[in-house]
Structure 1
Amino acid sequence: MSIIAGIELRDLLDRGAVTDMVDPEVQVQVCGVDLTLRSVELFATPGAVDYDNRERKVSKTEEIPFDESGWVHLDPGAYLVTFNEAVSIPKDIAALARPRSSLLRSGATVETALWDPGYRGRSQSLLVVFNPGGLRLKRNARLIQLAFYRLSATAEKGYEGAYQNENL
């Protein structure tokens, strides 16, 4: 696998791999696309994860509103973030994301899962604030850079899980 960059990345984006960008001129990087903050939610109930998902229970969340200036203050802890951008991963591609360095230098990080071939949706990730003073985020803040990787072969079957078409 290798990271898709340059002209090949632009072509992938032109084919709709990432839509609803706030500003593609700012968000498209050499090796990926910055995803931006749509909403932040606080975990309100416990979750449950089992082997075959028969007893899976996703935690309920409560949205934290932005103030009149578009900011939200987050105390240390874990939060669910939803991105503005919708992603549509072709069957010969997978994607991984890393937090932007500004976020790390502010004492926070974002944990993500693999974007599987065939996945389509407006993704969510786990934001963890470690900074004892908390973190302020503005609506549309760039949080992660999504990098696309070409697979050694096209996936025979695309993603068919519970999160397909989420938040669209």
Structure 2
Amino acid sequence: MQRIADIQSLIDGIVHWETQQAPNGADLTVDEVFRVTGPGQLDFGGSEFAEAPRERLAPTKADPDDSYGWWRLDEGTYIVRYNETLKCTEHQPARLTPLRRLLLAGADHAIRVLNETERPLEMLLRVGAGGCDLKENCRISRVEVFTSA
């Protein structure tokens, strides 16, 4: 597998390309945060699948004149929805990894490989005992897109 050189053409919803571009991919930003409020359900065949219920959280501004607000997250499980979506296929998969600074801020998410486009693109976020504050449009993940020969 080889990395795609022109990754920008495969991403919709970029907030600010000059800031989000990275030597080996691009950073993804947070659009919405949801608190997981109960259990989901999985079965073998999928006929009894049910998504975990969730509650949308509103960011709060420290000052009314601020352009962006913050999500003040306590320990727990959340779902983040990205501003961006990726054009992925079986022959052009993408890998999402947490940024190091997300880990250092007390939160984490799994590494995911996508081989189809998901709209909206979401990720399960785990926040540790100390909590974690996320500012609107903060960068939390890095995407790398590959091509298979």
TM-score (norm 2): 0.88
- Residue 46 of structure 2, aligned match among 38, 41, 53: 53
Matched residues, number: 143
Query: Could you report, residue by residue, the CA deviation over 1:105-161 in whole angstroms, capped at 9, with x for unpaired residues?
Result: 112111253211x4242310011011x221110000101001112224xxxxxxxxx
What secondary structure, in the 3-state scheme, does the structure 1 residue paired with 2:29 have?
strand
Runs of 4+ in 1 over 6 A off after TM superposition: none
Q: What is the deviation of 1:104?
A: 0.7
Rounded to whole Å, the distance in 2 between the matches of 1:81 and 1:120 is 14
Task: Return 5+ residue gaps in structure 1 as ranges.
Answer: 153-168
Q: Which has the higher strand share?
A: 2
Structure 1 match to 2:104: 105
Name which of structure 1's ranges 79-88 and 44-53 shifts more when overlaid on structure 2. Answer: 44-53
**Aligned equivalent of 2:86:** 87
1:145 aligns with 2:142: yes
Query: Which residue matches 1:9?
Result: 5
Partner residue of 2:65?
none
Sort the Cα spacing of 1:122 and 1:33 in 2 relative to 1 into closer, same or farther, 3 A: farther
Residue 65 of structure 1, aligned match among 53, 58, 73: 58
Structure with greater contact order relative to length (CA < 8 Å, sep ≥ 6): 2
Structure 1 residue 40, shift from structure 2 partner:
0.6
1:33 is aligned, of 26, 39, 63, to 26
Amino-acid identity (%): 27
8 A contact 1:112–1:126 mirrored in 2: no
CA–CA separation in structure 1 for the residues paired with 2:36 and 2:106: 20
**Runs of at least 5 residues in structure 2 that lack an aligned partner in the other structure:** 63-68
Q: Please report the TM-score for the alignment, with normalisation by the length of structure 1.
A: 0.79
- Write the letter of the residue equivalent to 1:113: R
